Amino acid sequence: MSNISSLASGDQQNNVYKLVINDTLGNQEHRANGREKLALEDSYLRSCALKLAQKGDYAEAIALLNQLIHRHPQNAVDYNNRGLIYFQSGETQKAIVDYNTALQINPSLASAYNNRANYYAACGELVAAIADYDRAIDLKPSHVRAWINRGITLRDLGQYEEAIENFEVALLFGQLEGHIWAERGRTYHLWGDWNCAIADYRRALTLLPSGKRYVPGCRLRLQLENWLNELLSPQHPE
């Protein structure tokens, strides 16, 4: 007597299929939720690190970025951000290592070129700084900070006309206008055009914040007030 094979009915087959699919979708959804939660945690850590750095809590900020780099060792942004905080805290050699690592991972990261250029400028390597600002602007033509920083470095090189051109381009993007007016005014000041300098300084003062030490722009405002007082003092030559 031959064995009779039992065939599952169509409904039975469909039920099995649905159970498998539902189980698979459930796992996928669980994994997706896990990834989303981790991404939110990463975003929160980056935000906290930025806020801590702005308050001058550099060690705490770096500790958070260390966690992020441990989780994501190939994330160029985290190396770049940690490098920036090292730079702000005075640990410049650690900063340049992080900037170089960020650019090895992502050679198209404009902000890392801008930050590395700031390091070179601080070290007096102005030609190297200009080269990195150029690269940042080539990669991201709307990188306002790179335009401003390149203008400042050109001014330090005595190339006042080229510096003014950089600040005027930066103004087109409608960002950081207080900083731009201040730096353009300083360029006119050093170039000897005191009327234009005073006008730019006064424009900048209407835009730069005053008050808390760690509010971005406050230190520039204090510097700007000193520059303006220097020009308006009775002892200043006409």
Per-residue pLDDT reduced to its tens digit, 101-113: 999 999 999 999 9
pLDDT at position 16: 41
Question: What is the extent of the structural domain holding 130?
Answer: 114-175
pLDDT in tens, 178-203: 999 999 999 999 999 999 999 999 99
Q: How far is the CA of 188 from the CAs of 6, 91, 218, in angstroms?
A: 94, 33, 21
> Could you tell me the two tokens for 122?
């601080």
| Domain identity same for 236 and 181 | yes
Convert the pLDDT of each residue in 160-177 to its tens digit: 999 999 999 999 999 999
Q: Record the pTM.
A: 0.80
Amino acid at 174: G
Task: Give the CATH number of the domain where residue 126 resides.
Answer: 1.25.40.10
Over range 217-221, report the average pLDDT.
85
More confident residue, 44 or 168: 168
Residue 2 domain-assigned?
no
Instruction: Give the helix ranges, DSSP H, for the chain.
Output: 10-54, 58-71, 76-88, 92-105, 110-122, 126-139, 144-156, 160-171, 177-191, 194-205, 218-232
Q: How many domains does the chain fold into? A: 3
Separation between Cα atoms, residue 3 and residue 19, nearest integer Å: 29
Q: What is the mean pLDDT of the chain?
A: 86
pLDDT score of 18 more than 50: no
User: Is a pLDDT exceeding 90 seen at residue 117?
Assistant: yes
Q: What pLDDT is recorded for position 104?
A: 98
How far, CA to CA in Å, does 172 sit from each of 4, 18, 40, 142, 215? 83, 58, 34, 9, 24
**Residues 100 and 72 occupy one common structural domain:** yes
